[in-house]
Amino acid sequence: MKISKYWKAVVSGMAAGAGSLSVAVTDDVVTAAEGWAAGLAVLAALGFTWAVPNRQASQDS
């Protein structure tokens, strides 16, 4: 299966944001600091995942 680095980054960003926000809403309140942390988690996941190249498919199939 071939997945572009853009979709890989989008999915990782969504996962990071969802994970961060799921921890933040355990007390039913999302503070500004928790919102910033979730936003930074999304940006970090997008950046790091986009920067890592996909492995090339091997010719031995």
pLDDT digits (tens, 9 = 90+) for 18-37: 999 999 999 999 999 999 99
Written as six digits, the tokens of 24 are 């933040």
The answer to whether 39 touches 13, Cβ cutoff 8 Å, is no
What is the band of 49 on the pLDDT scale with cuts at 50, 70, 90? confident
Task: Tell me what pLDDT residue 29 has.
Answer: 92
pLDDT bin (cut points 50, 70, 90) of residue 6 is confident
pLDDT of residue 44: 95
Q: Where exactly are the structural domains of the chain?
A: 5-51
49 sits in which H/E element? helix 32-51
pLDDT at 35: 94
Give the angle subtended at the CA of 52 by the CAs of 60 and 59, to the nearest 5°: 10
Distances in whole angstroms, Cα of residue 36 to Cα of each of 1, 14, 45, 56 = 35, 15, 14, 36
